[in-house]
Amino acid sequence: MNFDLKPISKHPLHRIHSGLLVVSVPEAGLAKSHPLSATLAKAVASKVFEGKPGQTLALWEPAGLATSQVLLLGVGKATSAHWRSAALKLAGWIKDKSVTQVDWCLDPKSLTDWVAVLRTLSDGLYTYTHTKPSAKAHVAHVSLLVSDVAKVKGMVKSVQASLAGIALAREWGNRPPNHATPAHLGEAAKALGKLKNISCEVLNPSQIAKLNMGAFLAVAQASAQPAAFIVLHYKGASSSVAPTVLVGKGITFDTGGISLKPGAGMDEMKFDMCGAASVLGTFRALADLQPRINVVGLIPACENMPGGKAVKPGDVVTSASGQTIEILNTDAEGRLILSDALWYAKRFKPRAVIDIATLTGACVIALGHVRSGLYANDEALAKQLLKAGEEWDDLCWRMPLDDAYAEGLKSNFADMANVADRAAGSVTAAKFLQRFAPEAPWAHLDIAGTAWKSGAAKGATGRPVSVLLGYLLNQVHKPAARR
Ligand code: BES
Ligand code: MN
Ligand code: ZN
């Protein structure tokens, strides 16, 4: 979806020519002076249309207007939820009727309302085509007619950038595992590296080995696809400003390794790189918005495969931090690759480090598909991420990090084991990561339940690009010196 903002003063309704002119109608009705107020009053009187959220009434050549096709679209009480219902209905209408140019009069009041409108519309119009060209993408241009462009321009621009980021994250999440290998992710990152103020480096297995990333390479060692360690830099501020580091889990396919997963639904483990995809998406949005901050993106990318070269339960590996790990379950691989990447983050003397990972099935059991699990060793960072999630409708829920949860990670043969027992599996995974996290404020987002949808609507969601971007944009006015 492409869209632009237009002032209604320069584009009065009665003069607009459009494929489809959409008029938002709240339950309270339209102003008396509105060219459609009389028509609306009749429709309301005959109970054909009342402005309920998502309700529609199509008009053909209404008197006094220049355009032929007009849609009254109910927005109820104009809450975020009501805007979402309206936008969802409109997306369906646009696709159904194959409309390519839409002019929509609307007046969402807050950032959250704009997010609700534009993200719902953009999600509704997205079609995956990379390996299914027969599913033709529907290209629609949507002009947003507002009364005060200056007032909403900034908000709309950041939402628009977030949508480009979400689209990129969804795209890479959705691509099949043979079309989204570590090398492919590296190429996607390099393409971002061509954008303004972004640079990218992709380390190969021998470079990764030189960094002593024994935990990461143990996961990668049975795969025919070479591992890649992607390092992205966004430099929007002077180099004296400490960066935020984003670390995304990039398991391009998780079979479980020797601790093999059951066959049913294993295809969904192509989504095990959605953390990585959310980092790529966030960089895409940063390129558009050019905020005055510095951000580093780290993506350890590899497959988790069984085979003759595979790491075995009981193997002990040495992580880049020097700590040894007894790999009791090869399916707990995300924490292994992240441990080395988190250690690597320290060299940037970051103001904060946030890792994003489809880490545990246990998080899906705990929080379902509504909120991402949020762990943080710092109150302020936790608050800021929760707030960004609320503002940008990409919800998180704070989870505990009590040391008592780490008891089960003890090992007789290494500094720690990579799994504890089944209880509180998402928390023990976070406790494992914490051992490698920097002293700087650190947060971990377990997005196992929120990064993709199963069933008929199977596909990546693009979460939590909005949380990350919202958080980063709120940092612009809080410069912090390098530690
Ligand atoms: N990628 C999975 C987590 C996952 C599973 C996400 C299902 C979404 C749905 C991760 O690598 C994994 O396999 N975790 C194990 C950990 C266990 C062995 C301690 C899990 O959750 O079962
Ligand atoms: Mn796994
Ligand atoms: Zn995994």
Work out the average pLDDT over 177-201: 99
Work out the average pLDDT over 198-214: 98
The CA 426 to ligand 3 mean position distance, Å, reads 12
Q: At what angle do helices 111-125 and 149-174 cross, to 10 degrees?
A: 40
The residue behind tokens 């143990």 is 218
| Nearest in space to 136 (alpha carbons), one of 87, 88, 176, 98 | 98
Work out the average pLDDT over 311-318: 98
Q: What is the pLDDT of residue 480?
A: 56
Delimit the domains of the chain by residue range: 2-147, 168-474
Contact between residue 168 and residue 160 where contact means Cβ atoms under 8 Å apart: no
Name the residue at shortest CA distance from atom 8 of ligand 1: 448
pLDDT band at 56 (very low <50, low <70, confident <90, very high): very high
Task: Encode pLDDT of 288-298 as tens digits.
Answer: 999 999 999 99
The CA 336 to ligand 3 mean position distance, Å, reads 10
- Asked if 335 is an active-site residue, the reply is yes
Task: Encode pLDDT of 388-424 as tens digits.
Answer: 999 999 999 999 999 999 999 999 999 999 999 999 9
0.75 surpassed by pTM: yes
How many Å apart are CA 244 and CA 254, to the nearest integer?
28
CA neighbours closer than 13 Å in the CB half-sphere of residue 278? 34
Mutate to test the pocket of ligand 1, among 304, 360, 405, 453 (most ligand atoms within 8 A of CB): 360
Q: Where are the alpha helices (DSSP H) in 317-401?
A: 334-345, 361-367, 379-391
CA neighbours closer than 13 Å in the CB half-sphere of residue 83? 22
Q: What tokens were used for 84?
A: 């979402």
Geometric angle at alpha carbon 4, from 72 and 274, rounded to 5° = 100
Whether residue 464 is preceded by a cis peptide bond, meaning omega within 30 degrees of 0, is yes
Work out the average pLDDT over 416-443: 97
- Asked if 346 is an active-site residue, the reply is no
* SS3 state at 102: strand
pLDDT band at 477 (very low <50, low <70, confident <90, very high): confident
- Please report the DSSP string for 101-161 in residue order: EEEEE----SHHHHHHHHHHHHHHH----TT-TTSPPPP-EEEEEES-HHHHHHHHHHHHH
Architecture of domain 168-474 in this structure = 3-Layer(aba) Sandwich (3.40)
How many Å apart are CA 294 and CA 23, to the nearest integer?
41
pLDDT band at 456 (very low <50, low <70, confident <90, very high): very high
Q: What is the pLDDT of residue 479?
A: 53
The CA 214 to ligand 2 mean position distance, Å, reads 17
| Nearest in space to 223 (alpha carbons), one of 260, 276, 187, 182 | 182
CATH of domain 2-147: 3.40.220.10
Query: Which amino acid is located at 382 in the chain?
Result: A
Query: Which amino acid is located at 302 in the chain?
Result: C
pLDDT band at 1 (very low <50, low <70, confident <90, very high): confident
Which residues lie across from 298 on neighbouring strands? 231, 247
| Nearest in space to 275 (alpha carbons), one of 230, 215, 217, 233 | 230
> Which class for 33: exposed (0-12), middle (13-18), buried (19 or more C-beta within 10 A)?
exposed
Question: Ligand 1: which residues within 6 Å by Cβ?
Answer: 254, 272, 329, 331-334, 358-362, 364, 419, 425, 448
Q: At what angle do helices 274-289 and 182-192 cross, to 10 degrees?
A: 10
